[in-house]
């Protein structure tokens, strides 16, 4: 299926789901399951001390998405952006719950798979990302979609209504800010 056809089908399914069609919702998740799987796998790749499977992370994110009342998304890029946010929250909740149970206290590193980007401890990244969101919410969204969703700069541009070159500049600035914030 071509990207244009896929985006058009996604728009129709999203609209139908907004109108209460649960079959459209199910078809939407089926359609994007490979993308969700790639994002979840990238998030969990080489994670030490995390027994959460790719499928578990996807299902947790899907459960959170289904629980939302009115979804303000328009297309594939918006769907993937919100999905990546839900996967990030699910992974953080998992790590925090595990820590609360006083099990093995290992740091969980997020392996981004993005060239020239170091792997970081997920709770430190989350704290830094929350701080960045106070300063510049848009840059924080870009980092979230890129790190946690594995989204390309073009898709992020679609979600935020920005050109790819603008997203790239803001991504680079946010990345530098985070690298500085995450220094020991």
Residue ranges per structural domain of the chain: 3-181
Contact 112, 42 (CB under 8 A): yes
Give 46-102 as a 3 state SS string: CCCCCCCCHHHHHHHHHHHHHCCCCCCCCCHHHHHHHHHHHHHHHHHHHHHHHHHCC
Burial class (CB in 10 A: 0-12, 13-18, 19+), 142: buried
Q: What are phi and psi of 111, to 5 degrees?
A: -95, 110
Does this model's pTM top 0.85? My answer is no
Q: Across residues 102-127, what is the average pLDDT?
A: 60
Q: What is the pLDDT of residue 48?
A: 66
> Tens digits of per-residue pLDDT, 70-106?
666 677 888 888 888 888 888 888 877 777 665 555 5
Model pLDDT, residue 107? 52
3-class state of residue 109 by DSSP = strand
Strands 109-110 and 120-121: antiparallel
pLDDT of res. 58: 87
Q: Which one-letter DSSP state was computed for residue 1?
A: -
Could you give the C-alpha distances from 69 to 18, 23, 72, in angstroms and in order?
9, 16, 10
Q: How confident is the model at residue 19 (pLDDT cuts 50, 70, 90)?
A: confident
Return the pLDDT at 168.
Answer: 94
3-state helix, strand, coil in the chain (%, to 5): 70, 0, 30
How does pLDDT run across 47-64, given as a tens digit for each residue?
666 778 888 888 888 888
Closest of 59, 66, 74 to residue 13, by C-alpha:
74
């Amino acid at each position: 299926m071509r990207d244009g056809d896929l985006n058009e089908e996604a728009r129709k399914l999203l609209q139908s789901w907004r109108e209460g069609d649960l079959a459209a919702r199910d078809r939407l998740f089926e359609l994007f399951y490979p993308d969700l799987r790639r994002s979840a796998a990238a998030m969990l790749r080489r994670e030490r001390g995390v027994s959460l499977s790719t499928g578990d992370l996807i299902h947790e994110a899907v459960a959170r998405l289904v629980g939302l009342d009115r979804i303000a998304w328009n297309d594939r890029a918006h769907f993937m952006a919100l999905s990546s946010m839900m996967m990030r929250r699910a992974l953080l909740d998992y790590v925090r719950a595990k820590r609360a149970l006083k099990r093995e206290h290992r740091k969980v590193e997020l392996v981004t798979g993005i060239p020239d980007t170091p792997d970081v401890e997920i709770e430190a990244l989350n704290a830094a990302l929350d701080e960045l969101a106070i300063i510049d919410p848009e840059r924080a969204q870009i980092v979230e979609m890129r790190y946690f969703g594995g989204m390309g700069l073009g898709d992020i541009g679609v979600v935020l209504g920005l050109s790819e070159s603008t997203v790239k500049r803001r991504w680079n600035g946010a990345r530098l800010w985070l690298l500085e914030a995450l220094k020991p």
